[in-house]
Structure 1
Amino acid sequence: MKKVNKPAGGNPAALLKEQKKRLAEAELLLDISRRISAMDSLDAVLKMLVETATSRLNAERGSLFLNDPNTNELYSRVAMGNFMREIRILNTNGIAGHVFTTGEGVIIPDAYADSRFNRNIDEQTGFVTRNILCVPIKTAKGQIMAVAQILNKKKGRFNREDMRLLEEMMKQGAPSLQSLQFIEQMETIRRQELEFINVVSEMTSDIKLGSLLQNVMAEATRMLNAERSTLFLHDEKSDELWSEVGQGLESTQIRMPSHAGIAGAVFKSSRTINIPHAYADLRFNPSFDKKTGFFTRSILCVPVINKNGRTIGVTQVLNKHGGPFSQEDEARLRAFTAQVSIALENAKL
């Protein structure tokens, strides 16, 4: 008698059920892809992905945290529940930070029993997190750009099948998230540059040197997301660098030899210096910190060069919020410094 091979698994009903499940999943992913293709804003894609994932996984709330490489923070604009707000955390903190840094998804059955869980968000929002499913979102090149986090499964606990489905849903959205985030960043930069042009316009109409320089240094501090900025000018008679204006220094005048510290190194070399950890650099002079109680973490310093190519001072910005200064910050500060040089020339300092 010829042997009849039974279907894999030996249970036709179970196989049919599995096939229907896979077909429904394929339709879900195709629907997500179709809906994303009709969206042209980052917020719309974020909202749709989070709502779809939260509903599909029968959970109470979801969030999608995008990475901000300029501040080394994860930020969420979408939170299911009573309200919507932007929340920012360091990209190494909490469950989301753990998933972002390791690139591995996690299932947390009891959030408050896990030492990695950050309770601050619950305290800020009044929400109580019981269990968590969190997965990384990767670009086509495998770089982690975000994490998706689903909270409080309504019945039972999250399982490996939930994790697999969440990963598949996020894969559908990753290309659009990456491109729309890039477009939004470019629009932000363009808006900031337009704001800077307005400041420059005000500068050229201001004949008072003090207020003119105060404007440009205040704008430098704000646009570079830093704590403090100072313009040091060179006194040829004493061969000292002295501060004409300092954001956050309450107009304190500072004088030092033209070769001293980071400012001196930039003045003598006429080259930009970008230091992520001030106290690890031997050129850094900590005496000013000791006098004021200020703590310098990161430094970006660029030379002020006049139209004849001579270095006449330096512009120094301290302590970027969220991490070290970037190459983009260097380019922006050079643009500011070019305007400082023009302003000084116009004021005939």
Structure 2
Amino acid sequence: IVLQSTQYGEKMKRFHSQEMEFFNLVSDVTAEIDLGMLLGKVMSEATRMLNAERSTLFLNDEKTNELFSKIGEGLGATEIRLPNHMGIAGAVFTSGKSVNIAHAYADLRFNPAFDKKTGFFTRSILCVPVIKKDGKVIGVTQVLNKRGGPFTENDEARLRAFTAQVSIALENAKLFDDVQTMKNYNESMLLSMSNGVVTLNEDRRIMTCNAAGLKILRTEPVDILQRKADDFFSGPNAWIIGKVGRVEETQTSDITMDGELLFNGETISANVTVLPLISTTGRKLGAMIIIEDISSEKRVKTTMSRYMDPGLADQLLNGAEDILGGKSTTATILFSDIRDFTTLTEELGAQGTVALLNEYFSLMVDCIQKEGGMLDKFIGDAIMAAFGIPLPHDDAADRAVRAAIGMMKTLQGWNAQRTADGKRPVRIGIGLNTDVVVSGNIGSPKRMDYTLIGDGVNLASRLESACKQYYAGILISEYTYRQLKGTYRIREVDWVVVKGKTKTVAVYEVLDHLSQEAFPNVMESVNHFHRGLEQYRNGRWEQAICAFQEGIRINGQDRLCQMYIERCEHLKANPPGKKWEGVWVMTTK
């Protein structure tokens, strides 16, 4: 009895010692808020606590549906990723139930591939889910190869209890990590901003001022931080305090354009915005002052960009005034025009027409400038733009084609909204040509306009007009086609001589903006069209008509095939003679 009592006492001491060690371990782990340190600590302690050879904490990546391990005790810097439904870890993650396997290779769920890759031999596995307090499984903890035998039920219970605390620590660390990331992001954003940002607390004391703010206000951190805003923005700058007072009272933003500030004897032209700072619970925290310096060069650039392309304004401000005097350069010209615009204007009236054009031009110009194009001018409802000028691009033709495709796709989205609102959709045609053009400031001393002139400009305009004849959305010349480096869905349309010219030009249609519904069976349809075009150019009218009819059979919406059938019928009735070379002379602009 004495011996049993002694053994029981020793057992209780060991149990108490283990439990105290466990509680100290849990306390140590849950106190860690650095996610990287936490993961390392969890794996190290889990391995030691269960006297195992290796342990791994897998977390679920919701974006990729993978379980990944950043830290694995005994794995060094190895990262493991596996689908979150495969293997032992996947089974535990999907079921939310623990697994205790005494002989790993006897379990069909075990994947020995990692053992073969690393040379490690897995004998026993204890794997438990990591579950948040709301019941969501966010990962699994896996411990391998207990020294001295398989894992026991007591080991499983201890690991479950440990993992429950780990989930709390993970949430805390993740929250801290998110807060720290947001803090770093905000600080980096403020540091990189060109606008000055000054924040005030509820007592109007200046709490922060970013680097741009220090530069604009001609001050140092020691001279502005923790000072009363009323003292810093005094004298000729006191109007800012008046703005702050109104914002505090109304809790709405206040914007001042082209205001004047005076610091260290220097006058600063600035756009000033004052915003209220409010907590998520609605408590007033203070105010934020955003200062945009528009002095000197920045002010001139802002003004000039309202009247000309920003790229041109940049060159002028950098001293490249010679570009205004005239310059020959290779560029890709884009012309676009609204179809049936007269009908639209009659329906909409003057105000409705202006509103439509403003909205339409805004959408189209965004597509052009996104690809680095220069908006040359608006001509009524038409747009003229250029790529590769004033700043050269070795892929100017590709930029122009991408812009044209973007314009068409943007127009499709806009038309869907207009149709839903019961409005008439807007249709356009786009023509592109690449050539040497002359650019410069053209006009009279009283009114000058930076623009482009030359045969290349005229051809782009003719191709835009030809879109109506060829039932196309985007037509490009052979000169643009030969410059393309990207891959597009393009078919040759015709050899033409445009009105007012004598030189033959090959014309191509870009099809990338057309959906499967709008142009079904694209490649097969294009192949039949090309066969028809070849027969047409060889003067074999019947064979050409058969090929074009086959194209219509495959794609009943290909009106270009129908146009060629009608042209072949005309040529059959009015033979062109032996001089026929497959060239069509356009009689209209």
**Which of the numbers 158, 165, 174 marks the counterpart of 1:165?**
158
Q: 1:210 aligns with which of 366, 371, 377?
A: 371
Q: How does 1:67-86 map to 2 (within 5 A)?
A: 67-81=60-74, 83-86=76-79
Q: Which residue of 1 aligns with 2:107?
A: 114
Matches within 5 A, 1:262-301: none
Does structure 2 conserve the Cα–Cα contact (< 8 Å) formed by 1:240 and 1:255? no
Verify: 1:150 aligned to 2:386, yes or no.
no
* Residues 233 and 38 of structure 1: CA distance in aligned 2, closer, same or farther (over 3 Å): same
Whole-Å separation in 1 of the counterparts to 2:24 and 2:516: 65
* Residue identity (%): 31
- 1:256 corresponds, among 507, 511, 514, to 514
Q: Which amino acid aligns with 1:131?
A: S
Give 1:329's aligned residue.
none
Output the amino acid matched with 1:252: Y
Alignment check: 8 A CA contact 2:68 2:79 kept = yes
Contact 1:131 1:157 in 2 (8 A): yes
Matched, 1:179 2:172: yes
1:153-207: per-residue Cα shift (whole Å, max 9, x none)?
221111211111111222222211123234445666888999999xxx9xx9898
Note the alpha carbon deviations across 1:83-116, whole angstroms, 9 max, x for none: 2222211111111111011111111222223221
1:21: how far off?
A: 3.7
The answer to whether the aligner puts 1:237 opposite 2:428 as a matched pair is yes
SS of the residue 1:148 aligns to: strand
TM-superposed CA distance for 1:124, in Å, is 4.1
CA contact (8 A) 2:123 2:145 kept: yes
Secondary structure of the structure 2 residue equivalent to 1:122 = helix
SS at match of 1:181: helix
Separation (CA, whole Å) in 2 of partners of 1:191 and 1:240: 51
Structure 1: how far apart are the matches of 2:87 and 2:487? 40
**In structure 2, what is the equivalent of residue 140 of structure 1?**
133
Deviations 1:251-283 (A, max 9, x none): 43523259769xxxxxxxxxxxxxxxxxxxxxx
Q: Secondary structure at the match of 2:63?
A: coil
* Cα distance change, pair 20–160 in 1 and its aligned pair in 2 (3 A): same
SS, match of residue 133 in structure 2:
coil
* 2:118 match: 125
Q: Whole-Å Cα distance in 2 between the matches of residues 66 and 84 of structure 1? A: 16
- What CA distance in whole angstroms lies between the structure 2 residues aligned with 1:63 and 1:240? 61
Partner of 2:514: helix, strand, or coil?
Answer: strand
The 8 Å contact of residues 33 and 176 in structure 2, kept in 1 or not, is answered as no
Residues 183 and 123 from structure 1, CA distance in 2 versus in 1: closer, same or farther, beyond 3 angstroms? farther
Q: Is the contact between residue 133 and residue 149 of structure 1 (CA under 8 Å) also seen in structure 2?
A: yes
Q: TM-score, normalised by structure 1?
A: 0.54
| 3-state DSSP of counterpart to 2:120 | coil
Mapped to 1, the partners of 2:36 and 2:88 lie a distance apart of 23
Distance 2:186 2:21 in 1: 42
Q: Say which SS state the counterpart of residue 233 (structure 1) adopts.
A: helix
CA distance in structure 2 between the aligned counterparts of 1:196 and 1:252, rounded to whole angstroms:
38
Cα distance in 1 for residues equivalent to 2:157 and 2:27? 21
Deviation at 1:62, TM superposition (A): 0.6
Output the aligned Cα RMSD: 4.4
Q: What SS class does the counterpart of residue 255 from structure 1 fall into?
A: coil
Larger Rg: 2
The unaligned stretches of length 5 or more in structure 2 are: 195-309, 315-367, 374-404, 413-426, 430-470, 475-485, 490-511, 525-589
Aligned twin of 1:306: none
Q: Could you give the per-residue CA deviations for residues 62-82 of structure 1, whole angstroms, max 9, x where no partner exists? A: 100111222211111111225
AA partner of residue 177 (structure 1): L
Q: Equivalents in 2 of 1:195, 1:68: separation in Å? A: 27
* Aligned partner of residue 97 in structure 2, secondary structure: coil
- CA deviation after TM superposition for structure 1 residue 136, in Å: 0.8
Pair 182,118 (structure 1): closer, same or farther in 2 beyond 3 Å? farther
If the length of structure 2 is used for normalisation, what is the TM-score? 0.34
What is the aligned counterpart of 1:25 among 8, 15, 18?
18
Q: What residue ranges of structure 1 are gaps of 5+ in the alignment?
A: 1-5, 213-229, 243-249, 262-284, 291-349
Q: Which residue of 2 aligns with 1:100?
A: 93
> How far has the Cα of 1:60 moved from its partner?
1.0
Distance change >3 Å, CA 234–CA 257, structure 1 → 2? farther
CA distance in 2, matches of 1:99, 1:123: 23
Distance 1:211 1:159, change over 3 A: farther
